[in-house]
Amino acid sequence: MDSINNDIKLKDDMFERVGIDEFSSEHLEKPSLTYWADVWRRFKGNKLAIFGLVLLIAIIVTLYVGPLLTGLDYQHIDTSIKNQGPSAEHWFGTDDMGRDIFTRVCYGGRISILIGLLCTLVMFVIGSLLGALAGLKGGWVDNLIMRFAEFIGNLPYLIIVIILTMVMGRSIFSIVFAMSITSWVGTTRMVRGQILQLKEQDYIEAARALGANTGRIIMKHLLPNTLGIIMVDITMSVPSFIFGEAFLSYIGLGVRPPETSWGALSSAGQERLMFQPHILFFPSLMIVLTILAFHLIGDGLTDALDPKLRK
């Protein structure tokens, strides 16, 4: 064996010199993404979620641009054209007072979505702050907040809303207040559970050691780290508030005329369902499409914010 190895002579031309790139070890195969950039990358890969987002944008644009295209006032009455079906002049037809339904659907949609967003905002602010405070402080503060949340959560929601709207009137403020008074309970419990997991992290202890007070820890550290699950809760809550407002308007406890909403339009349309079904169909269709859009967006956010699905 040694004699065979001695017969093999290694020469320089038998090898190829490979250079060394000093920066090759620093090269990144894929660009680094921030957390929210990665969330958006995964969200836009969900076709149904993108469809929901496009649908929601189209609905909102229609609500504000539609009346400009028709040039009609939603309160304008013309009894000579009452109960007409959809046409080139009146896209959704007219109601029993000769008012253009398309214009009224647009104005009613603004109020319905506004109430949904305001109720969700109240739910988010109260639920997030109380949940974060209960989870971070613990002890008697946690017990007090959670016992109060249990008391509010056990109140009959529908009865409370009906009583408050009857006592306070049928303004947008009273409807938002009545629908939001018990809505924050679920958000409080959800945020509290997340905070209980986060407050033992090292960066929270470091913030305390540096002298940060409770408010700064909640606003700068805890709530931003629970924002993902809160966003999903928000997208799922807006359609439920829109439907809740529609139900109140349907039973006559919604906004007071001459203001209108999708629920009020649906309530007026159900009386003429047999002979003029278009009066009920179009506002009901807008409610369904809006709720569908929010749910598709919420499902997309749930998948995009799930760290287990991150690639």
Confidence of residue 99 (pLDDT cuts 50, 70, 90): confident
| pLDDT score recorded for residue 268 | 81
Confidence of residue 201 (pLDDT cuts 50, 70, 90): confident
- What distance in Å separates the CA atoms of residue 145 and residue 138, rounded to the nearest whole number? 10
Percent of the chain clearing pLDDT 90 (strictly above):
8
Ranking 5-9, 70-74, 287-291 by mean pLDDT, the lowest is 5-9
Residue type, 30: K
Q: Of 297, 306, 233, which Cα lies nearest the Cα of 52?
A: 297
CB atoms within 10 A of CB 99: 21
| pLDDT score recorded for residue 51 | 94
Q: Of 187, 297, 179, which Cα lies nearest the Cα of 243?
A: 179
Average pLDDT over residues 279-293: 89
- The contacts of residue 68 (CB under 8 Å, 6+ apart) are none
Domain regions of the chain by residue span: 51-72+100-309
Confidence of residue 165 (pLDDT cuts 50, 70, 90): confident
- What distance in Å separates the CA atoms of residue 91 and residue 67, rounded to the nearest whole number? 11
From the centroid of its chain, how far is CA 108? Answer: 20
Average pLDDT over residues 151-163: 82
What is this structure's pTM? 0.78
The vertex-163 CA angle with 263 and 104, nearest 5°, equals: 20
pLDDT digits 0-9 by tens, 62-80: 999 988 888 888 787 777 7
- What distance in Å separates the CA atoms of residue 233 and residue 190, rounded to the nearest whole number? 9
Higher pLDDT, 182 or 258: 182
Average pLDDT over residues 260-277: 81
- 2-16, 47-61, 78-92: which has the highest mean pLDDT? 47-61
- What distance in Å separates the CA atoms of residue 32 and residue 26, rounded to the nearest whole number? 13
Confidence of residue 306 (pLDDT cuts 50, 70, 90): low
Average pLDDT over residues 176-194: 86
Query: DSSP state, 293?
Result: H
Question: Residue 54 above 90 pLDDT?
Answer: yes
Q: What is the pLDDT of the chain when averaged over all its residues?
A: 81
Confidence of residue 208 (pLDDT cuts 50, 70, 90): confident
Structure tokens at 79: 């009894």
| pLDDT score recorded for residue 24 | 54
| pLDDT score recorded for residue 50 | 93
| pLDDT score recorded for residue 289 | 92
Question: Residue 258 above 80 pLDDT?
Answer: no
Average pLDDT over residues 5-31: 61
Percent of the chain clearing pLDDT 70 (strictly above):
87
| pLDDT score recorded for residue 98 | 81
| pLDDT score recorded for residue 8 | 63
Higher pLDDT, 310 or 152: 152
| pLDDT score recorded for residue 156 | 82
Average pLDDT over residues 166-172: 79
283 close to 262: Cβ distance less than 8 angstroms:
yes
> Partners of 100 in the beta sheet?
94
Q: Which CATH class is domain 51-72+100-309?
A: mainly alpha
| pLDDT score recorded for residue 91 | 84
